[in-house]
């Protein structure tokens, strides 16, 4: 198992690069019509709710995906559900 790249609340350079790669990949898939941004948003919410509090690495990974939502919502006109 690899070392947890999250150090407290600050991701390492590697995790920041991985986050950018995921954002670019998801953005490309949405732009090409291969991924529904609304379905992605709903899936992110479900995954976030399913994460147990004793799994900081998984929670950190989902925080990266949360940034995807921040990028895609303005670009594709998605509004957060209150």
pLDDT, tens digit, for every residue of 11-61?
Answer: 667 777 777 787 788 888 888 989 887 787 777 777 766 665 556 555 555
> What pLDDT sits at residue 6?
54
The yes-or-no verdict on residue 82 having pLDDT over 50 is no
Cα distances (Å, whole numbers) of residue 27 to 46, 51, 52, 70, 72: 20, 24, 28, 12, 7
pLDDT in tens, 47-71: 766 665 556 555 555 556 666 666 6
| Contact between 61 and 68 (Cβ < 8 Å) | no
């Amino acid at each position: 198992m690899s070392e947890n790249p999250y150090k407290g609340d600050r991701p390492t350079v590697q995790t920041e690069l991985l986050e950018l790669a995921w954002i670019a990949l998801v953005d490309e898939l949405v732009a090409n019509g291969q991924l529904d941004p609304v379905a992605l948003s709903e899936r992110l919410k479900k995954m976030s709710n399913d994460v147990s509090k004793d799994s900081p690495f998984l929670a950190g990974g989902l925080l990266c995906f949360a940034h995807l939502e921040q990028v895609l919502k303005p670009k594709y006109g998605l509004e957060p559900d209150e």
